[in-house]
């Protein structure tokens, strides 16, 4: 990839922070969109809920990676928090897309975050990017989230929707909670353990986002998941092997529903998602198996 000027939203999150570090390490100029007064020339103000973007600060950007959004599993899903989950994605994406479309020289590419929640509960059925959206709260959010980037697409900006799976990392996401439990010998399968988890190592997630920035043939939805989805039972076994701890304490589905409320449905649902378009475009995974992904995460890499 030739050096570029790239703007990133969600730059303090798990994926965004690592993406910024990776881009800067390779000499790219990175602008971070922040929801406060900018503190330096590498920051641009925006407020996704108020739909404000300092468009002038984005002048000259060749690429944009949009990762901002309230954490789906950060809190129980009250009506207010479900609205925050939706608004933080839909309103922010619409504001950013419109700001980019209005620039005298729009960026060449917008990589806009999305999620495999788009597909809903697929059970044991394998799905790729050609599958329709599922039913329920998360699929409806993902549909609106992607539709909100319409202004960018209409302006001729190559727009890619990065439908990300469960990111395996020690410092954030689901695995930040799982790894300490397993280290303490308190890990176990969730519910039946038969539900499929479509995961991706943090290293591969960042590499895939950079691949999307640079691969001009890709637009529309692209699944960012490892090639071999595994069941929660298989995840549990891999965690037990890597961390050398027994996994004897399954968490029954009713207990999950008490602890997590409506969000438990997402944990207990299965999504057997494959990265068809990434593989077709020639992307190579550094950590394609769950054991490799867990091992690198547990080591803190």
The residue ranges of every structural domain in the chain are 5-298
Average pLDDT over residues 254-279: 67
- Which pTM does this prediction carry? 0.93
The mean of the pLDDT values for the chain is 89
Where does residue 238 rank: exposed (0-12), middle (13-18), buried (19+ CB within 10 A)? Answer: buried
pLDDT(247) > 90: no
CB 189 within 8 A of CB 273: no
Which of the residue ranges 149-163, 181-195, 248-262, 267-281 has the most confident prediction, judged by mean pLDDT? 149-163
pLDDT at residue 193 tops 90? no
Instruction: Give the pLDDT of residue 265.
Output: 55
Residue-level pLDDT at 268: 54
Q: Which residue, chain included where needed, has tokens 């790219």?
A: 28
pLDDT in tens, 77-88: 788 988 999 999
- For the cut 80, the answer to whether the pLDDT of residue 45 exceeds it is yes
Of 33-37, 78-82, 270-274, the range with the lowest mean pLDDT is: 78-82
The closest alpha carbon to 206, from 103, 283, 118, 281, belongs to 283
- At residue 258, the pLDDT reads 40
pLDDT surpassing 70 at residue 201? yes
Block residue for tokens 């409320």: 261
Of 228-237, 259-268, 269-278, the one with minimum mean pLDDT is 259-268
Q: What is the rounded CA–CA span in Å between residue 272 and residue 253? A: 20
Using a pLDDT cut of 70, give the percent of the chain over it: 92
What pLDDT, on a 0 to 100 scale, did the predictor assign at position 261? Answer: 52
What is the spatial order of strands in the sheet that 5-9 belongs to? 52-53, 43-47, 29-34, 5-9, 63-66, 109-115, 158-164, 220-224
With a cut of 70, say whether residue 119 has pLDDT above it. Answer: yes
Confidence of residue 163 (pLDDT cuts 50, 70, 90): very high
Pairing of strands 196-197, 230-231: antiparallel
Q: What stretches of the chain show up as alpha helix (H) in DSSP?
A: 14-25, 79-101, 137-147, 150-154, 173-183, 202-214, 232-243, 253-260, 264-268, 276-280, 290-298
pLDDT of 251 > 80? The answer is no
5-298 CATH pick, 3.30.200.20, 3.40.50.720, 3.40.1480.10, 3.10.20.30: 3.40.50.720
- 93-115: average pLDDT: 97
Helix 173-183 to helix 290-298 angle, to the nearest 10 degrees? 80
Q: What's the CA gap between 85 and 156, in Å, rounded?
A: 28
């Amino acid at each position: 990839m030739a050096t570029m000027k790239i703007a990133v939203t969600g730059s303090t999150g798990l994926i965004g922070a690592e993406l910024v570090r990776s881009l800067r390490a390779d000499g790219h100029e990175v602008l971070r969109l922040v929801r406060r007064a900018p503190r330096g020339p590498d920051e641009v103000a925006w407020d996704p809920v108020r739909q404000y973007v300092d468009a002038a600060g984005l002048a000259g950007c060749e690429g944009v990676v949009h990762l901002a959004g309230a954490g789906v599993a950060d809190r129980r899903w009250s009506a207010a928090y479900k609205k925050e989950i939706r608004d933080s994605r839909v309103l922010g994406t619409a504001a950013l897309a419109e700001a980019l479309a209005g620039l005298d020289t729009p960026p060449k590419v917008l990589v806009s975050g999305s999620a495999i929640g788009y597909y809903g509960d697929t059970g044991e059925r394998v799905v790729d990017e050609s599958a329709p959206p599922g039913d329920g709260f998360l699929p409806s959010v993902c549909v609106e989230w992607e539709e909100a980037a319409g202004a960018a697409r209409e302006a001729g900006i190559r727009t890619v929707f990065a439908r990300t799976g469960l990111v395996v990392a020690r410092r954030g996401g689901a695995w930040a909670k799982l790894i300490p439990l397993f280290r303490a010998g308190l890990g176990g399968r969730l519910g039946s353990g038969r539900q499929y988890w479509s995961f991706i190592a943090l290293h591969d997630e960042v590499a895939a986002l950079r691949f999307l920035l640079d691969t001009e043939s890709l637009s529309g939805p692209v699944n960012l998941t490892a090639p071999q989805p595994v069941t929660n039972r298989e995840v549990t076994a891999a965690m037990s092997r890597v961390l050398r701890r027994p996994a004897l304490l399954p968490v029954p589905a009713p207990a999950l529903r008490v602890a997590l409320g409506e969000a438990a449905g997402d944990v207990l649902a299965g999504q057997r998602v494959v990265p068809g378009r990434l593989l077709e475009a020639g992307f190579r995974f550094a950590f394609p198996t769950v054991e490799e992904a867990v091992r690198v995460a547990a080591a803190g890499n």
